[in-house]
Amino acid sequence: MAINSAAIRWHGNSLELLDQRLLPTQTVWLTISDSQQAANAIREMVVRGAPAIGIAAAYGLALEAQRLGDNASLPALATAIECLASSRPTAVNLFWALERLQRTAGERTGSELVQALIEDAESIHQEDLAANRRMGEFGAALLSPGATLYTHCNTGALATGGHGTALGIIRSAWEAGTLAGVYAGETRPWLQGSRLTSWELLNDGIPVTLVADSSAGQLMAQGKIDAVIVGADRITANGDTANKIGTYTLAVLAKHHGIPFIVAAPLSTLDSELPDGSHIVIEERDGSEIRQIQGKPVAPAHCPVYNPAFDVTPASLISAIVTERGVIDAPDTSKVLAHLQASH
């Protein structure tokens, strides 16, 4: 079946990904034909956002099985699985999707395996959109009428199977008439906030004000922010949360100012295998992302750079974790396992 979302177009047996590196000034769709191309698209952030990465990886593996045809089998897909798994290390959704498709594959081979993987990838895509809509309702109910929110990075339709996680709550609150507006942090160095979130919210007619990341503290001190709402790339068993670099800073500022700090993520982002955030592998990306802005050098070419793409926020700084199952409220935000088990 064909499934279209903001960043991912599946045509039943072929895949297109919106090149998010070029937004908002250019809309270019790339055709992805196999697992190697899917892995490259994830690594180079053509497609990004934890849930979208998982969906793209699932389609990438299904396409590889389709390419193998009668020779398709789980052993024959081992290299493709490793190639996809090595594309980016932090978003657990990538590994969750690959593990789910491997379970689906089982002993199937040939056309039976191809069809099973395609159908499972399609289900992952559709389930994510449904999860985001449920998350949106749960999260919007946490907000006071007329709330002004601060958000970081991009957690919208571009980062998921549609609607979004934190941005999905923002969309649901706007639809419910309870949202006054949003401050969006630009999110250096990759500028997901200024390039993607502002674009999504303006397209939806949702009041958004773009700010430099360094403005967040002053906005909170001025009493302009009613809640901070962010996404996640991996939430460990105790509620520690990996998200875009700068998230931890926002959590500390929110705590200092007594402002609710809300994390929104589907169950596919919960990692019951890791006991706490100290075990999360934090991706470090090329220094050119810091030394340049949109490819234009701004720092000396030989300047050393430290460029972690994520940081970890301890559960103690999180007011609520919102999933499609419901809300884990502080001080129980460490009770992720119980939440996961309740959802089965």
Ligand X SMILES: CSC[C@H]1O[C@H](OP(=O)(O)O)[C@H](O)[C@@H]1O
Among 244, 291, 325, 335, indicate the residue that binds ligand X (CB under 6 A).
Answer: 244
The DSSP symbol for 308 reads: B
Distance between CA 130 and CA 87 in Å, rounded? Answer: 26
Going by C-alpha positions, the residue among 268, 307, 321, 281 that lies closest to residue 57 is 268
DSSP for 28-66, please give it.
-EEEE-SHHHHHHHHHTTSS-SHHHHHHHHHHHHHHHHH
Among 200, 233, 311, 324, indicate the residue that binds ligand X (CB under 6 A).
Answer: 233
Task: Compare residues 118 and 230 and give the one whose CB is closer to ligand X.
Answer: 230
Residues 6+ away with beta carbon under 8 Å from 223: none
Q: Which of residues 185-214 bind ligand X (CB under 6 A)?
A: 192
Q: Does 50 bind ligand X (CB under 6 A)?
A: yes
Distance between CA 222 and CA 224 in Å, rounded? Answer: 6
Among 35, 155, 172, 333, indicate the residue that binds ligand X (CB under 6 A).
Answer: 155
Q: Is the separation of the CB atoms in 237 and 205 below 8 Å?
A: no
Catalytic annotation present for 233: yes
Among 104, 160, 198, 323, indicate the residue that binds ligand X (CB under 6 A).
Answer: 160
* Residue tagged active-site, from 233, 240, 271, 311: 233
Output helix, strand, coil percentages for the chain, rounded to the nearest 5: 45, 20, 35
Query: What mask of x and - would describe binding to ligand X in positions 105 to 144, judged by CB under 6 A?
Result: ----------------------------------------
Q: Is the separation of the CB atoms in 2 and 11 below 8 Å?
A: yes
Q: Does 84 bind ligand X (CB under 6 A)?
A: no
Residue at token pair 């360094």? 214
Task: Compare residues 64 and 128 and give the one whose CB is closer to ligand X.
Answer: 128
* Residue 292 phi, psi dihedral angles, 5° rounding: -120, 160
Q: Which stretch binds ligand X (CB under 6 A): 215-223, 226-234, 286-294, 317-325?
A: 226-234
Q: Which stretch binds ligand X (CB under 6 A): 118-126, 230-238, 273-281, 298-306?
A: 230-238
Q: How many CB atoms sit inside 10 A of residue 110's CB?
A: 14
The region that residue 321 occupies, defined by phi over 0 for left and psi between -120 and 50 for alpha, beta otherwise, is beta
Q: How many CB atoms sit inside 10 A of residue 217's CB?
A: 16
Taking the complex as a whole, how short is the minimal distance between the CB of residue 27 and ligand X, in angstroms?
Answer: 18
Q: How many residues bind ligand X (CB under 6 A)?
A: 16
Task: Compare residues 147 and 235 and give the one whose CB is closer to ligand X.
Answer: 235
Residues 6+ away with beta carbon under 8 Å from 119: none
Task: Compare residues 37 and 268 and give the one whose CB is closer to ligand X.
Answer: 268
Taking the complex as a whole, how short is the minimal distance between the CB of residue 291 and ligand X, in angstroms?
Answer: 18
* Angle at 285 (CA atoms; ends 39, 279), nearest 5 degrees: 85
Query: What mask of x and - would describe binding to ligand X in positions 262 to 301, judged by CB under 6 A?
Result: ----------------------------------------
Q: Could you tell me where the DSSP H helices lie in 227-301?
A: 247-256, 288-291
Task: Compare residues 10 and 248 and give the one whose CB is closer to ligand X.
Answer: 248
Going by C-alpha positions, the residue among 106, 127, 137 that lies closest to residue 268 is 127
Among 41, 113, 147, 153, indicate the residue that binds ligand X (CB under 6 A).
Answer: 153
Taking the complex as a whole, how short is the minimal distance between the CB of residue 23 and ligand X, in angstroms?
Answer: 12
Annotated binding site for substrate: 48-50, 88, 192, 243-244
Site for ligand X, rule CB under 6 A: 48-51, 153, 155, 159-160, 165, 192, 230-231, 233, 243-244, 309
Catalytic machinery residues: 233
Bind-site residues: 48-50, 88, 192, 243-244
